[in-house]
Amino acid sequence: MTVLENYNGRSFPDKSKRYETKDRMIAGQTPNKVWLYTVDVCEDVESGKTLLRLVRWVARVENGDSSTKIWRFGGAYNLRSLSHWDAISRTVDALLHEGIPLKETGILKPHEIESQTIQSKEEEINVLESLLNRERTALVSHKAQLRKSKQRIIEMRSHIGDYRETLKEFKTLVERFSTNERKIHEFIERERPFWVFGLEYVAIRSKVAFPPPPRRKKYEFDLMLDRFDRFMDLVELKGPNENLFSRRTKHRFKINQSLSVALGQVIAYLSECDKIRRKTLVRPNALIVIGNKKTDDPTQRRLLASHMSRVEILTYTDLLKHGEQLLKHIEGKKL
């Protein structure tokens, strides 16, 4: 087995006398490229015991020579019991920021063995092999997702002019005082602007019957958003000029009728979805789009949203901002 000796133009001068490195995998790197974390499979020279180590490295030059770039050893954690990884994962995730979170790789807390303590060398080797396989699988999956994201951005960038024109028309429609829910629905059904809801969505469908045939229709969702991971979320539309709240007393607000109706609808929809599960409709989220910045009270909306785990409330002003920010991101992103 060949041990990784270089990463990003820097070598690993592994000079440990106690541990002999047998395998090394990259766990993550901080955004400033200074700190690097690796997962090393090592053998204790004295006991011959195999163990897993989380090693921290810092970018340096050797003996002041800028042409010799190295990763200098900056500390390590040895795996003594699987529960020990919980504390390590929180620390490393905080340091990595935008690096690959270790807890997402499957290394830190495999659910089926999280409470066990490694007691024998044979058991430890089996556990380590399992963890390493999880790590490799997670990294392959991560790279595949990055490739898909890159392809999506390239595809969307080729249509950026059309998207900008659609967003401009949508803004004009939303700001028109006479615009109601029906006109919004007609526009979305015609233009299919799934991207204004977020980069995680790849398609949008209108007036979706539920349950689907051959069962008898019980509800009709205004919109259904297809996610990149093949799951789906729901959208309930209301008019862009609807008020969300009205002041009941000096210290208390009342949810207006349109928002109240929308909440009742999506709660019923989510309940029905949970009863009749489909392969791609598992515990969906629901999004209510209603009103604008002039008819909204952000504080009350945030307070209301804090009590709902699967329902999000957005105004059309929010939706337009999402679309504008997304297009700027696509135009400026380096691939």
pLDDT digits (tens, 9 = 90+) for 231-290: 999 999 999 999 999 877 666 788 999 999 999 999 999 999 998 878 888 899 999 999
The reply to whether 236 and 319 lie within a common domain is yes
Between 320 and 228, name the one with better pLDDT. 320
Give, in order, the Cα–Cα distances in Å from 32 to each of 28, 35, 59, 154, 217: 12, 8, 10, 26, 54
- H/E stretch holding 36 reads strand 35-44
Q: Which residue in 102, 131, 104 sits closest to 37, CA to CA?
A: 102
- As for how many domains the chain has, the answer is 2
> Looking at the structure, do residues 128 and 179 belong to the same domain, yes or no?
no
Cβ atoms of residues 279 and 253 within 8 Å: no
Residue 93 belongs to a domain: yes
Residue 154: inside a domain: no
Q: Going by C-beta distance under 8 Å and a sequence separation of 6 or more, which residues neighbour residue 104?
A: 138
Angle at 139 between CA 134 and CA 143, to 5 degrees: 150
Tell me the average pLDDT across 159-183.
94
List % helix, strand, coil for the chain (3-state, nearest 5): 40, 30, 35
Q: How confident is the model at residue 144 (pLDDT cuts 50, 70, 90)?
A: confident
Instruction: Please say if the pLDDT value at position 196 is more than 60.
Output: yes
pLDDT in tens, 5-20: 888 889 987 677 888 8
SS3 325: helix
Buried-state track 150-162, b at ≥16 Cβ within 10 A, e below 16: eeebeebeeeeee
Cα(215)–Cα(209) distance, rounded to whole angstroms?
10
Per-residue confidence (pLDDT) for residue 31, from 0 to 100: 77
Q: What six digits make up the tokens of 82?
A: 């699987």
Within a 10 A sphere around the Cβ of 17, how many other Cβ atoms?
A: 7
User: Percent of the chain at pLDDT above 70?
Assistant: 82
Same domain, yes or no: 242 and 312: yes
Question: In which band, very low, low, confident or very high, does the pLDDT at 119 lie, cut at 50, 70 and 90?
Answer: very low
- CA separation for the pair 153, 327 (Å, rounded): 10
Supply the pLDDT for residue 285: 94
Q: Is residue 303 part of a domain?
A: yes
Q: Which of 11-15, 28-32, 186-190, 246-250 shows the lowest per-residue confidence on average (mean pLDDT)? A: 246-250
Rounded alpha-carbon distances, angstroms, from residue 66 to 35, 69, 99? 18, 7, 26
Position 108, amino acid = L
Total residue count of the chain as it appears in this document: 335
pLDDT of residue 121: 54
Instruction: Evaluate whether residue 155 is within a structural domain.
Output: no
Segment 47-75 shows an average pLDDT of 84
Domain that holds residue 205: 160-332
Which tokens belong to 224?
């259904």
Out of 149, 183, 209, a domain closes at: 149
Given a cut of 50, whether residue 100 has pLDDT beyond it is: no
